[in-house]
Amino acid sequence: MEVITIEKEAFQRLLKKLDSIEEGLEELRNPVSRMQAEWVDTYDVMKILKVSRRTLTQYVSEGKLKCSRVKNKNYFKLSDIEEFLNTSS
Protein backbone atom coordinates (compact mmCIF):
# COMPACT_ATOMS: atom_id res chain seq x y z
CA MET A 1 0.00 0.00 0.00
CA GLU A 2 1.31 3.40 -0.99
CA VAL A 3 1.00 6.37 1.36
CA ILE A 4 0.31 9.75 -0.24
CA THR A 5 0.82 12.99 1.66
CA ILE A 6 -0.70 16.35 0.77
CA GLU A 7 -0.49 19.81 2.24
CA LYS A 8 -3.07 20.80 4.83
CA GLU A 9 -4.45 23.59 2.59
CA ALA A 10 -4.91 21.21 -0.32
CA PHE A 11 -6.69 18.77 1.98
CA GLN A 12 -9.02 21.53 3.24
CA ARG A 13 -9.86 22.54 -0.35
CA LEU A 14 -10.60 18.92 -1.16
CA LEU A 15 -12.94 18.65 1.84
CA LYS A 16 -14.79 21.83 0.79
CA LYS A 17 -15.29 20.48 -2.71
CA LEU A 18 -16.59 17.19 -1.35
CA ASP A 19 -19.02 19.09 0.89
CA SER A 20 -20.35 21.09 -2.06
CA ILE A 21 -20.76 17.89 -4.11
CA GLU A 22 -22.66 16.33 -1.20
CA GLU A 23 -24.97 19.36 -0.97
CA GLY A 24 -25.65 19.14 -4.71
CA LEU A 25 -26.50 15.46 -4.43
CA GLU A 26 -28.88 16.18 -1.54
CA GLU A 27 -30.71 18.72 -3.70
CA LEU A 28 -31.00 16.18 -6.51
CA ARG A 29 -32.33 13.55 -4.11
CA ASN A 30 -35.02 15.89 -2.82
CA PRO A 31 -36.89 17.25 -5.87
CA VAL A 32 -39.67 18.78 -3.74
CA SER A 33 -37.32 21.24 -2.03
CA ARG A 34 -35.77 22.05 -5.40
CA MET A 35 -39.21 22.75 -6.84
CA GLN A 36 -40.07 24.94 -3.86
CA ALA A 37 -36.88 26.91 -4.46
CA GLU A 38 -37.79 27.45 -8.12
CA TRP A 39 -41.45 28.40 -7.66
CA VAL A 40 -43.00 31.10 -5.46
CA ASP A 41 -46.60 32.01 -4.73
CA THR A 42 -48.47 35.27 -5.31
CA TYR A 43 -47.64 36.70 -1.90
CA ASP A 44 -43.89 36.16 -2.37
CA VAL A 45 -43.98 37.72 -5.85
CA MET A 46 -45.80 40.77 -4.47
CA LYS A 47 -43.03 41.17 -1.87
CA ILE A 48 -40.24 40.67 -4.43
CA LEU A 49 -41.70 43.14 -6.93
CA LYS A 50 -43.11 45.48 -4.25
CA VAL A 51 -46.48 45.64 -5.98
CA SER A 52 -50.11 45.14 -4.99
CA ARG A 53 -52.16 42.05 -5.83
CA ARG A 54 -54.04 44.06 -8.46
CA THR A 55 -50.82 45.17 -10.17
CA LEU A 56 -49.54 41.59 -10.19
CA THR A 57 -52.84 40.41 -11.68
CA GLN A 58 -52.48 43.07 -14.34
CA TYR A 59 -48.94 41.90 -15.20
CA VAL A 60 -50.29 38.36 -15.64
CA SER A 61 -53.28 39.41 -17.77
CA GLU A 62 -51.02 41.56 -19.98
CA GLY A 63 -48.67 38.61 -20.46
CA LYS A 64 -45.74 40.32 -18.76
CA LEU A 65 -45.50 37.50 -16.19
CA LYS A 66 -46.46 33.85 -16.58
CA CYS A 67 -47.92 31.78 -13.78
CA SER A 68 -49.13 28.25 -13.24
CA ARG A 69 -52.32 27.57 -11.33
CA VAL A 70 -52.50 24.66 -8.89
CA LYS A 71 -55.62 24.18 -6.75
CA ASN A 72 -56.77 27.79 -7.14
CA LYS A 73 -53.35 29.19 -6.28
CA ASN A 74 -50.92 30.87 -8.67
CA TYR A 75 -47.23 29.98 -8.70
CA PHE A 76 -44.49 31.86 -10.52
CA LYS A 77 -41.07 30.69 -11.66
CA LEU A 78 -38.24 32.63 -10.06
CA SER A 79 -36.48 32.71 -13.44
CA ASP A 80 -39.54 34.42 -14.99
CA ILE A 81 -39.56 37.00 -12.20
CA GLU A 82 -35.85 37.65 -12.68
CA GLU A 83 -36.36 38.05 -16.44
CA PHE A 84 -39.27 40.44 -15.81
CA LEU A 85 -37.11 42.54 -13.48
CA ASN A 86 -34.29 42.67 -16.04
CA THR A 87 -36.57 43.72 -18.91
CA SER A 88 -38.58 46.27 -16.95
CA SER A 89 -35.53 48.08 -15.55
CA 38, CA 21: separation in Å to the nearest integer?
20
Q: Predicted confidence band at 13 (pLDDT cuts at 50, 70, 90)?
A: very high
Q: Is the pLDDT of residue 27 over 80?
A: no
Give the torsion sign (CA, 75, 77, 83, 89): positive
For domain 34-88, give its CATH number from 1.10.3470, 2.70.98, 1.10.287, 1.10.1660.
1.10.1660
Q: Is the pLDDT of residue 26 over 90?
A: no
The pLDDT of residue 34 is: 53
Specify the pTM. Answer: 0.58
The pLDDT of residue 30 is: 64
Q: In the chain, where are the structural domains located? A: 34-88
Kindly give, in sequence order, each residue whose CB lies less than 8 Å from that of residue 14, ignoring residues fewer than 6 positions away: 6
pLDDT tens profile 40-87: 999 999 999 999 999 999 999 999 999 999 999 999 999 899 889 988
Report the residue count for the chain: 89
The pLDDT of residue 9 is: 95
Residue 78 one-letter amino acid = L
